[in-house]
Chains A and B, each alone.
Chain A
Amino acid sequence: MTRSDAEPKARGAVEYGTDLAAPHMLWAALVRSPIPHGRIVRMDLGPAREMPGVVAVVGPDDLRDLLPKGALEAERPVFPLDEIRYRGEPIAAVAAETLEQARAAAAAVAPELESLRVDARIEDIFPEWPSEAAAKDPRVVGHVHARYGDLDAKFRNAELVHSETYRTSGVHQVAIEPHACLAEVRDGTFHVRSSTQTPFGVRDDLASILGVPPSRLVVEGTWVGGGFGGKGAAFLEPYAVLLAVASGRPVKLSLTFEEEFELGRTTLPSIIRLDTAVSRGRIVGRRVRLLLDTGASLPGRDFAVGYSIGFLLGPYRTEAYEIEGFALQTNQPPFGPHRAPFAPQSVFALESHIDGLARRLGVDPIEFRKLHAWREGDRTAYDQPVGPFGLEAGLEAAARTAGVWRTGLPPGHGIGVACGFWSTATGAGGEARLRLRPNGLTILQGEREIGNGSVIRGLAAVAERVLGLPDDAIRVEYGDTATAPFDSGVFGSRTLGALGQAVEKAARSLAHTLASRVGAPAIRLEMKNDQVVVVAGRRRQKLADLLTPAERTAGGVVALGKHYAPERTVDASRVLAGTVYPYQDFTAAVHLAEVEVDRETGHVRVVRYAAFQDVGVAVDPPGLTGQVEGGVVMGLGTALSEEMLWTPEGRLANPGLLDYRLPRIRDVPPIHVKTIEGFAGAGPFGAKGVGEPPIIPVPAAVANAVADATGTRVFELPLTPERVARALKLL
């Protein structure tokens, strides 16, 4: 089995967003605010317009002329109409003949600005945990609150209450390809090519930001050089479209790496408080409180809190609970999804807490988790039935491996376990059009391959499994939002689980059509001399001979598969404020880490790692292993070194890869990947998505291993040497 994109990518032959070009194209640059919070008193764009090579400059005052009325009331204005809310926020944009000219003109804009008070961090808003009255602060921009059961009684009668506070840092997706797009106006339609995870999502975002109907927008995805959640919504596209409108020429906009960091759309810091009541060795009540920095985000703040908070309850049975979370508006860039949005951070807090509780009770941490782990048929906190779920099986497998590692464990080493839980976003719909030609099968769909293989290999593997065709006879094709069938996009680990179902349905429909033509109950396909052959029992017929004359003209048999899942609901009586989100699917991950801690310096080295991944069914085993390994490596960054450092003045101190530390290959330990199969998910053949689950337990597993090695818990991510040294009271 091969990845058909591997060779052209290695040769540099595919077009990424940063490679986009068009005849007569202009280059764009953004004018970005030098202050994190304030107002524009005066901004004269005249001098920039006179700079060499400049063709168009647009700022807040131009929006009225360029856009329909409705756009000015958009939830997300293109430029700040009132307040500048973060340092680096685009306040104007320039298009010029060359990139250097555009940047020179952007640098020449010298706005007169009035600074306002800066809230750079959660602590600037709430130095202490907020009281109920403080929650009315205007900077509290989202509030989610849910409860169930007689919690007060559980806490009152508890034999033990375990209370802790955890802190997490902002982490960046760091896709190796920066954001990039190219916009042009053709026949009154806005055409945008963009490196995006969600072409249809960008189309709809653009429609609301620009105030134009979606029918006047066509978005075409390019090859994506890594997304990790960071390329899932309209971002640069509105600026490129505005400049294209103002200049009448195609406009390309791409970011420098420094801009990638300063414009954010990343995970932001949080403070998490957990109180757990225990009676007779079991958890009987949970109180979970979350302060989530959502930066300068406008839409989606409630979502960030409602989504995060689900992970803080975890995949454990709870008799009574109360969860409450606040979204706080700070002068950091907008919050954005990062592979398994906010799950690694929430799970770090929860799984550290559970681990510490087990140790406090003198119980084996794995056994303690098994005691509470969801099994199929249990009810979630929001009263949904739990589907097939491989958590207990994963814990059992992890216990065996931990036992082996434990024998002969060198001094200074420790072993940590952590569970993760994910709900594949199979609720988001998608369609796929399959065309079976005499020489092979094509799958036309509306996603782009973002690197993980779920589109180019995963979808092909589904068709392969249904029809029996070898993978080199199957080609995945891409379209723009005008030509491809609708799809929600690459997020929530849903490509295989959701779009894969559409492919499966279309493939089954093709098989059914052909079976009825040959008068057999079932068929499979194979290739012979580059021709598709239909096999039914002992009979074999060339596909070409089974086509109707019309199909011969059209080029084959076509089937459209649609996947639209039924809506899931939660028990609304438990939700007092805001929105919580129903689970679509139930995917477990259990991780084990062995670390070595330098007891004198606090330096942590991960010695070996094992990931037990609940997959339902492994549809594409090599791709699956790659995804799990990649998730673990990315999680090691969140665990040990990745952290956006904001100064109290609202400036990012490390907008580059020297001091924003991604894991290097020397940091990566041997990773053993084991699949847990047999707990079917909603995806094709029972498959579950594995894009995001493998990153989730990593920070917790590492932190728990550090606690095992040293007897000391670290309450803050990432576990840098200095932070561990402080926890060990070395300074």
Chain B
Amino acid sequence: MSDRPPQRKAINRLLVEPSVSFQLVRPSTPEGAIRLLSQAGAGEIAVLAGGTDLSWDLDQARIAPIQVLSLGKLPWKYLRWENGSLVVGSTLPLRALELDPHVKRRLPGLWEAIRDVGSPALRSRATLGGNLGRCSPVSDLIPMLLAFDARVRIVGPNGAREHPVDMVLQESRRTSLGPAELIESVILPASGPSAYLWQRVQPVNDISQVGVAVAFVPERPHWHIALGGLQPRARRLSEAEAVLRSARPTRFEMELAAQEAARRAEFVSDKRATESYRRRLVAVLVRRAIQTTVERMPKPSPARKGTR
């Protein structure tokens, strides 16, 4: 320091960048954001929509972007109801969804999936768009979006498009978004009751060994079952769904659907659980999630009840 020539210090600063060094850009319009994305080369820019997952990659030096594009100033932190559908702006913190009484009442499965992501501090940063865009195989939210048949509104240099969530997800950590495209919002169509169940070693700040999303929707097939925690990405299990034929399946049908789900799911063994334990969990949690969903169905009117 004082016993070193000053030039040496200046040179050091130029030569050695700190391990995490990038330019943070915060455009205030979607057009500005898309322009920045279009101008950047591959790997030069990373999109920040909360950052709870991105910061991990930066910290571990798995990526080394020149720029980090924050979506924090875009006007996408909204939540609104349109014709019974819930439209969630992609940068709305999960905590806002969790605290909304209508979300909890009308989409209990979504609320359950959100409520147990990380911790309250993390949910104050994390966003639905970020979660979807990162496309993690261990996401707790993606299975629920799949079960709801959510649609994703994407904006990019060629305008806006809308796709079912299943088409947006490709494989672990990969979506079908173009390099200059962004998720503007997620649209959750009107649905009947739903439930999300998970198993973790610990309830808070842990990663689900398995996540099970179930939704009952007005159109056929009525029952939607999606699983998370599997490879390469969360997916619907139509084989298990097909077992459930009525709004009030018998216990036998529930068990059959759960067994079918456990049989069809593609799992791997890793440090969080073995493949056989994950299969066991699916068999239990699918049955319980269907059961919970049934319990959330509107009660039959007392008059009808009397005639049975």
Interface residues in chain A, defined as those with a beta carbon under 8 Å from any beta carbon in chain B = 23-24, 51-53, 97-98, 100-101, 103-104, 600-601, 603, 640-641, 645, 653-654, 657-659, 661, 663-667, 720-722, 725-726, 730-731
DSSP majority for the A interface? loop
Residues of A with C-beta under 8 A to B18: 100
> What residue of chain B has the Cβ atom nearest to residue A100's Cβ?
B18
Residue of B nearest to A667 (CB): B202
B284 sits at the interface (CB 8 A): yes
Query: B219 near A: Cβ within 8 Å?
Result: no
Q: Which of B11, B15, B277 has the most chain A CB within a 10 Å cutoff?
A: B277
In the complex, the 9 A-B pairs of residues with the closest C-beta atoms, listed nearest first = A664-B204, A600-B284, A722-B277, A52-B15, A731-B280, A53-B12, A52-B12, A731-B276, A100-B18
Chain A residue nearest to B4 in the complex (CB): A97
How far is it, in angstroms, between the C-alpha of A24 and the C-alpha of B271 when the chains are bound? 44
Q: Which of A654, A658, A659, A664 contacts B203 (CB 8 A)?
A: A664
Q: Select which of B9, B271, B285 is within 8 A of A97 by beta carbon.
A: B9
CB of A659 within 8 A of CB of B202, answer no
Q: Does B42 contact A (CB under 8 A)?
A: no
- Whether A664 pairs with B1 at a CB distance below 8 angstroms is no
B271, A98: Cβ atoms closer than 8 Å: no
Q: What residues of A have a CB within 8 angstroms of the CB of B12 in the complex?
A: 52-53, 97-98, 101
Q: Check B203 against A722 for contact (C-beta < 8 Å).
A: no
Interface SS, B side: loop
Q: Are B280 and A658 in contact (CB under 8 A)?
A: no
- Per-residue CB proximity of B103-133 to A under 8 Å, as 1/0? 0000000000000000100000000000000
Residues of B in contact (CB 8 Å), total 33
8 Å CB contacts to A: which residues of B1-44?
Answer: 1-4, 9, 11-12, 15-19
Verify if B207 is at the interface (C-beta below 8 Å from A): yes
Q: Does B250 contact A (CB under 8 A)?
A: no
Asked whether, in the complex, the Cβ of B271 is within 8 Å of the Cβ of A654, the reply is: yes
B264-294 interface code vs A (CB 8 A; 1 in, 0 out): 0000000111101101110011000000000
Cα–Cα distance between A720 and B209 once the two chains are bound (Å): 12
A383 to B253, CA, bound (A): 66
Smallest Cβ-Cβ distance to B279: which chain A residue: A731
Residue of B nearest to A105 (CB): B16
**B102 → chain A closest CB, angstroms:** 26
A683 CB, nearest partner CB in chain B, Å? 37
Nearest opposing residue in chain A for B280, CB measure? A731
Q: Give which listed residue, A98, A103, A600, A641, contacts B202 with CB less than 8 A.
A: A641
**Which chain B residues lie closer than 8 Å to A663 at the CB level?**
202
When C-beta atoms are compared, the residue in chain B nearest to A55 turns out to be: B4
Known: A52-B15, A53-B12. A665 touches B204 (CB 8 A): yes
Q: Does B199 contact A (CB under 8 A)?
A: yes
Would A659 and B272 be within 8 Å (CB), given that A103-B19, A664-B205 are in contact?
A: yes
Determine if A24 and B1 form an interchain contact, defined as CB atoms under 8 angstroms apart. yes
In the complex, the answer to whether B199 meets A601 with C-beta atoms within 8 Å is yes
Does B201 sit within 8 A of A, measured CB to CB?
yes
Q: Which residues of A contact B57 (CB under 8 A)?
A: none
Pairwise interchain contact B201-A666, C-beta atoms closer than 8 A: no
**Which chain B residue has the least Cβ–Cβ distance from A603?**
B199
* Complex alpha-carbon distance, A391 and B279, angstroms: 45
Q: Please give, as numbers and ranges, the residues of chain A lying within 8 Å of B277 by CB-CB distance.
A: 721-722, 725-726, 731
Whole-angstrom distance from the CB of A248 to the nearest CB of chain B? 10
| 5 additional contacts (CB under 8 A) given A100-B18, A721-B277 | A98-B12, A640-B201, A659-B272, A666-B202, A722-B209
Q: Does B206 belong to the interface (CB within 8 Å)? A: yes
A409 to chain B, nearest CB (A): 23
Q: Chain B nearest CB: distance from A150 CB in Å?
A: 47
- Give every chain A residue within 8 A of B279 (Cβ-Cβ): 731
- Considering the chains assembled together, what is the distance between the CA atoms of A665 and B12 in angstroms? 45
CB pair A666 B204 closer than 8 Å: yes
In the bound complex, what is the Cα–Cα distance between A666 and B115 (angstroms)?
13
A640 vs B276: C-alpha distance in the bound complex, in angstroms? 20
| Closest beta carbon of chain A to B6's beta carbon, Å | 12
Assembly CA distance A653 to B16 (angstroms): 30
A sample of 28 inter-chain contacts (CB < 8 A) reads: A24-B2, A97-B12, A98-B16, A100-B16, A100-B17, A100-B19, A101-B16, A104-B16, A104-B19, A601-B199, A601-B280, A603-B199, A641-B201, A641-B202, A661-B202, A664-B205, A664-B206, A666-B204, A667-B203, A721-B201, A721-B277, A722-B274, A722-B277, A726-B277, A730-B280, A731-B277, A731-B279, A731-B280
- A731 CB contacts on chain B under 8 angstroms: 276-277, 279-280
A494 to B277, CA, bound (A): 44
Are A721 and B271 neighbours in the complex by a CB distance under 8 Å? no
Chain B min CB distance to A647 (Å): 9
**Chain B: which residue is nearest A722 at the CB level?**
B277
A659-B204 in contact (CB<8A): no
Alpha-carbon separation in the docked complex, A486 to B19 (Å): 43
What residues of A have a CB within 8 angstroms of the CB of B19 in the complex?
100, 103-104
- B-chain residues with CB within 8 Å of residue A103 when the two chains form the complex: 19
Nearest neighbor of A598 in chain B, beta-carbon distance: B284
Selected contact of B205 from candidates A658, A720, A725, A726, CB within 8 Å: A658
Name the distance in Å between A24's Cβ and chain B's nearest Cβ: 5
CB contacts under 8 Å to A, within B201-220, are 201-207, 209
Name, among B119, B201, B204, B272, the residue most crowded by chain A CB atoms within 10 Å (CB to CB): B201
Give CA–CA (A726, B202) in the complex, Å.
18
B3 touches A53 (CB 8 A): no
Instruction: Identify the closest chain A residue to B14 (Cβ).
Output: A52
Shortest beta-carbon distance, B270 to chain A, in Å?
Answer: 9
- Contact check: which of A97, A657, A661, A725 meets B1 at CB < 8 Å? A97
Query: Which of A23, A640, A653, A725 has a CB less than 8 Å from the CB of B271?
Result: A653
Contact of B281 with A601 in the complex, beta carbons under 8 Å: yes
